[in-house]
Amino acid sequence: MQLEQASGRTHYVALTQVGYDLARNEEALRQAFPRNASEDEHAHTAVVPDVVSELMTSVEQALRAHGWTSALDELARGDARYGEGKWADAVGGY
C-alpha cells in the first residue's frame, strides 16, 4: 500500500501490486493481518511455554501441599522414562 499526504488531513492511499497479490492469498493475508489472537502465531508462541511451566509447577505444589509423596514419586518415574525415550513406559500406569 502506498500512502501520500496531500494537504492538511488529506491523504492519498493506493494499493500496489504486492497488495493485490496479498489480497488474493487468504492464508498470507491472515498471516500478515491476523483478525484475532488465535490467528496470530507470534502472539501466543511465547505464552505457551510459560503456561505449561506454571501448570506443571502448580501440580507439583498441589501434590506436596496434600502430602501425596507417592504421586510425586510416580510422576518422577514417568518423567525419567520419558527422558530416556521410553514413551510407553512413561504412561504405562494410565
Between CA 47 and CA 49 the distance in angstroms is 6
Same domain, residue pair 53 and 39:
no
Q: Are 89 and 80 in contact (CB under 8 A)?
A: no
Same domain, residue pair 12 and 38:
yes
Q: What is the pLDDT of residues 53-68, one digit of tens each?
A: 666 667 788 888 889 9
Same domain, residue pair 37 and 56:
no
Integer-rounded Cα radius of gyration of the chain = 26
Q: Which domain holds residue 27?
A: 2-43
Q: What is the pLDDT of residues 3-14, one digit of tens each?
A: 888 888 888 888
Same domain, residue pair 69 and 37:
no
Same domain, residue pair 85 and 61:
yes
Same domain, residue pair 38 and 51:
no
Same domain, residue pair 7 and 33:
yes
Tally of structural domains, the chain: 2
